[in-house]
Structure 1
Amino acid sequence: MIEDCKRSGDNMADRRQLFIEMRAQDLDSIRLSTYRTACKLRFVQKKCNLHMVDIWNVIEAFRENGLNTMDLNAELSVARLEVVLSTIFYQLNKRMPTTHQINVDQSISLLLNFLLAAYDPEGHGKISVFVVKMALATICGGKILDKLRYIFSQISDSAGIMVQSQFDQFLREVLKLPMAVFEGPSFGYTEQAARTFAQQKKVSLNTFLDTLMSDPPPQCLVWLPLMHRLTNVENVFHPVECSYCHTESMMGFRYRCQQCHNYQLCQDCFWRGHASGSHSNQHQMKEYTSWKSPAKKLSHALSKSLSCASSREPLHPLFPEMPEKPLNLAHIVPPRPVNITNDYSFSHSMPTSGNPYSTKNLLESSNHQDEEHSLIARYAARLAADAAQAQQQRVPTDLPCSLDANKQQRQLIAELESKNREILQEIQRLRLQHEEASQPPPDKGQQNPTLLAELRHLRQRKDELEQRMSTLQESRRELMVQLEQLMMLLKTQGPGSPRSSPSHTIGRPIPTPIHSDSAGTTPTHTPQDSLMGVGGDVQEAFAQGPRRNLRNDLLIAADSITNTMSSLVKELNSEGGSETESTVDSDFGRCDLLPTTSSDPFFNYKPRSAESFENDLEQQLEHELKLEELMKHRQEPDKTCMVTLQQ
C-alpha cells in the first residue's frame, strides 16, 4: 500500500514536470489551434524520445511482449504497459551509438505518465491493448504512410474492408491525445467526425489513405499530418529575411503573403500573429517547406508549363484491394518466454488460468495477427534463435581469436602509421631539395666576361662558316652547270659519230652517292636549292636524298663524270690508232685519266681534305676542256672526208 502510494506520487510529479516544461515553451501563445496542437504533441514526442522510434520498432516491441496475439479489447495493467515501453526504449539504446545513449528510465516514466494522463485519468490502472497500439502508433516517429497502414490493419476485417465501429473507436482514442495537451475544445470527438466515411459503403486501404492524407485532411485529424510536416522542416534553412523580426534567415516553415509584395514571415512570427506595415493577419498566406532560387523557380515553371502530362505524383502508392492471406505462425514463431522479473511484476494482476501465452489462446487468436508483418516475425524469430545459439557456442572459443585479431589489427595500424610518418618525412625532404634547387644562385646576375667573349667568338665563327658554305654552294652550282653543258655535248656527239658507242655507260654504272653522318651542315641550303638551273641528268645524279654531305656529293659526281670521260677517251683512242694515243699521252697525260688497279682515285675513293677540294675540281675541269679540244680536233678530218665523199 505504501509502495503504491509512493509510485503514484512519483507519477504525478513526473506528469506535472512534463506539463510545466511544455508551458515553458510558450506554445499556448500560438494563434492557430492546429499548429498549437501539433507543436505540443511534437514536444511530448521529442521529450519522451519517441521521435527516434518508428512504427516498425513499435510493432516489434508488441510482438516481443505478445500483444499481437492478444484480443484488442483485452486490458493491460500499468506494470505490463511499463514492460512494453521498456522493450521499446532498451531496443532503441541498442541501436544508438554509445555517444548518443538516452536516459531509458526517464523516457519510460515520462511516456507512461503521459499515456495514463490521456487514457486513465481516473486512475483505474487498466488500459486496453487497442488503446496502447493506437496511441503509440500515432505519436511515434516514422512515416505517416506506414503508421496509417498499421492503424488500418487494426480497424479492418479479414477482407481488407474497414469496420465502421472500429474506426469510430479509433477516433475516440486518438482524439484523446489533443485533449491531454489541453486542446480538447478544438479537436474533441464529435458525431460529425465519425461521419468521415459515411458516404462510402466499403472503405479499402487506398480510400482510407486518400482521405487521411488529402489536402486538407479531415478537420478532426488535421494536426496529424501537420505534426509530420513539422518533423520534416525543423532543419530546413531559408536564406530570407523576416519582414517583422528582421532576422537574416529562417528555420522551419516560411510564410509568404499573397497580397503584399515580397512580405515574408518566419514561423514564430506567423504563428503568434505578428504583422507590420500594410500587412494584416487577414491576408492569405502561403506556406513553404523549402527554399528555391529564382533561377530554379523559373526553370521549374517552364518545365511545368511545357510538360504535356501532369507531373503531380500520387500521395501514396496503390495497394491491392484484397489483403494477403495471413499465415498461421503459431507453430513457427514461438512466443517470447516471459522473464522471471516480468512474471513477478504483473503476476498479481493476471490469473494463471487466463494467461495469454497458453497454446490454446495462441491457436484461437492466430487470425488477429498483423498481416504485413508475419514474415518479418518468422525471420526475426529464426535469426534470434540462431544468433543466441551461435553466441553460446562461440563465446568460449572465439574470445582468444577475437583478441588475436584485435592485436593483429593494432599492429597493422602501428605499422601503417610508421610508414606514413616515413613517407611524410621523405616528402618534406624532397620539397626542401626542390626549393633549394629552384632558388637562383647568388652570382647569377654577374656574367662571366670570358664566357661572353667565347660566345661571341663562336657566333662569329658560325657566321664565317655559313658564308663559306654559301660560297661553296655557289661554286658547286656553277660547276654543275658546266658539267651539264659538257654532258649534253657528249650526248649530241655520241650518236652522230659512227665510232662512238654507248655501251661503256651500261657496262659500268655510275656510282650512287653514299650517305654521310655529317649531312646537312647548314640549315639554310639544301641540295635541291643548289641544283637550281642544272639539267635533269645532273639533278638526277645528285638529288638522291634530302640530306647529304656536300663535299662527298661533289667528289662522287666529279669521279663519275671523269670515269665516263675516261671510258670515252679509251674507246676513241682504241679506234684512232697509235698516233692519236701518243698524242693524247704526250699532251694530256692520259695515264692520269685511265683507271688503274693500284691508284684509281675514282674506284678507290678516299675522302679528301676541304683545302684540296677546289684544286681537284679545277684540275678535272682543265682535263675535260683539253679533252673537248681534242675531240673537236679529231672531228675536223672526219668532216673533211665526209665533204669529199659528198662531192
Structure 2
Amino acid sequence: RPWDHPKMTELYQSLSDLNNVRFSAYRTAMKLRRLQKALCLDLVSLDALTNVFEQSGLKQNDRLMDVSEAVGCLTTIYQGLERKHSDLVNLPLCVDMCLNWLLNVYDTGRGGKIRELSFKTGLVSLSNAHLEDKYRFLFKQVASVSGLCDQRRLGLMLHDAVQIPRQLGEVASFGGSNIEPSVRSCFQFANGRPEIEATMFLEWMRMEPQSMVWLPVLHRVAASETAKHQAKCNICKECPIVGFRYRSLKHFNYDVCQSCFFSGRTAKGHKLSYPMVEYCTPTTSGEDIRDFAKVLKNKFKSKKYFEKHPRIGYLPVQTVLEGDDLETPVTVIRLVPVALAPSPSPQLSNEDTHARIEHLASRLAEMEFKNGSFLNDSSPNESLEDEHLLIQHYCQSLSGESPGSQPQSPAQILISLDSQERSELERILRDLEDENRSLQSEYDRLRQKQGLGGLGALLLAPPTMPPESPRDSELIAEAKLLRQHKGRLEARMRILEDHNRQLESQLIRLRQLLDQPQQEGRVNGTPALPSPPPPPPPPPQEESHPLSNGGPGGLRPPEPTGDDVGTAVPTNEDTAGGLTSVLPAQQDTPGGE
C-alpha cells in the first residue's frame, strides 16, 4: 500500500489477528472496533460531527470534496476532541490516519476527491452515538424536504455504507456491493410504496438487514467490552465471563464465552445448530426466567428440528439471482454520480471488473450458506468446485471481449452468467444421463451373470478377459480372496484333524498303561504287594510260567474258566516261579515300578 501511513500499515497488519473469528459479522465488527479506537472516532459525538458539517457547508451530497477540504474538516473535528481528551488524541496523527482510511474506502483510485455523502457516512458510522440516531442522520441526508426517500437516494446511502466492510474484504458475507436486493427488501417491507418515511426505514433497520448487520454488531461489541457475567464457560471454564455471553436455549446452565463461541468450539452433547441467545450486558432476573422457559420448551424438540429450522441473526435480503431487477427503464439506480464518470483514475476504468468479482464472491457466499458448509459436514471439494466454476465463468467472460461488449450493470452480468450456467448445467446433465445408462446396463449384465452361475460365473471367466467395469474387477478380487481364505481354513482343519487323531492314540495308550498295574496286582484275587528285589534271571533252558503268556509284555494272565474257579489253588512253588518270570518282564515295560 504505497499510499498508506506507516501507522495505518501497522494497523492493517494487526487486523489479521482477528481472521480466526469464524463468523463474518463479528469478525468485521471487531476489526471496525479496533479501527475506530485507532482513529479516536469512538470519542467523537454525533452532535460534534453535525456542527462541523454545518460549519463547513457540507449540504450537497453529490458534490465532490478535495483533500484540502477533507483535511480542514477533520482538523476541526479533532481540535475539539483534543481539548477534551488531550492525553488520548494526537492531532496530526489522527487527521492523517482518518484521511488515509477515508481515501482507502471511498477513493480507491486515488483521484483525490470524495463525495460529501461518503465523507459523512464513514465518519458517522464509526462515531460515538446511539444506533438509531445514526440511522436517523443517514436517512435525513438522503431524504427530501418532505422527509421521504425514494429508491435511488436510499441506494446511494446503502452503497456508501457497504463500502466500509468492503474495504476490509468482508463485503461478500453481507450480500456483496450490489445493494439492489437491500433496497428492494426495504420497499417491500413498506408495502411497495414509491417513497418511504423515516419510521419505516427505522423499523426495517431494527430487523438488521444482511447488508447492514455489521453496524449493530459493532455497537454490541463496544457494549460488551466491559461487561462481566456471573457465569462459567462450559468449554474453557472461564469465570466470570467477560465480553459476550452466549447462553444455550437447548440445555440448562450451558454458557459459552466469546472466545470459544468465535472459534466455533462446543462442549460434548451440544451442536452448533442449537439455538443460543447473546448477551452483551449482565442478565436480569426477567431475562433468566424467559430463557428458562425457552429451554424447557426446546427440550421437547429433536435435533432434526433445529437442523431443519436454523435461526438467522439477521434479516436475509433477496439475492441478485432472484426476483425482478430494479434496473427498469422507469427507475434506474445510479450508484456512481455522473461527475465521477470522467475521472482519470486508473481504477475507475476497471470498476466493472471489480463489481463482477464482488458479484461472484457474493454468489460463493450464498452457495456456502445454502449448502450449510459450516453447520453440516459437507465435503470441502464441493465448495472448491463451486468456486472454481465461478472463476471459470469469470475468465470466460473476460476472454475475447472488448470493453464495449462487457456487461455494464448487474442485470447484464446476471444474463451472461445465467446463459453460461445453463449451458454448463445442460452438459453436466447429459454426462449424468450417459453415466446412468451405462451403470444400468452394467447392473443388468451382473444380474444375468448372477442368475446363471452366481459368483462362480465370474471366477470361471477366462483370465485373459479384462474386467468390463470396476464393479466386475471388485467382485473377482473379492471372490479370489474368499477362495484363498477357504483354502487356508481347509488346510488348518486337516492339521487339526491329524492332531486330534494323534491325541486319541496317545490317550488309548495311556489308558492301557494305567490298567496294567491293577490287573497284575489282582492275580488270584490277592492285592498287589511291594515287589521284592529282582532275583537273578532264570537259566535259559527253563520255560517261562504260563502267566507270562498273553497281553503286552507278558503281563496279562489267562482268564480263568468257570470250572477252575474255586478249585485250582496254585502252590507256593508255582507262585514263586510266576513272580520270578513276571518281574523281569515288568521292569522292561514303561509302566513298571
Q: Which TM class, normalised by the smaller chain length?
A: 0.3 to 0.5
> Which is higher, the Rg of structure 1 or of structure 2?
1
| TM-score normalised by the chain length of structure 2 | 0.46
| TM-score normalised by the chain length of structure 1 | 0.42
Larger helix proportion, structure 1 or 2? 1
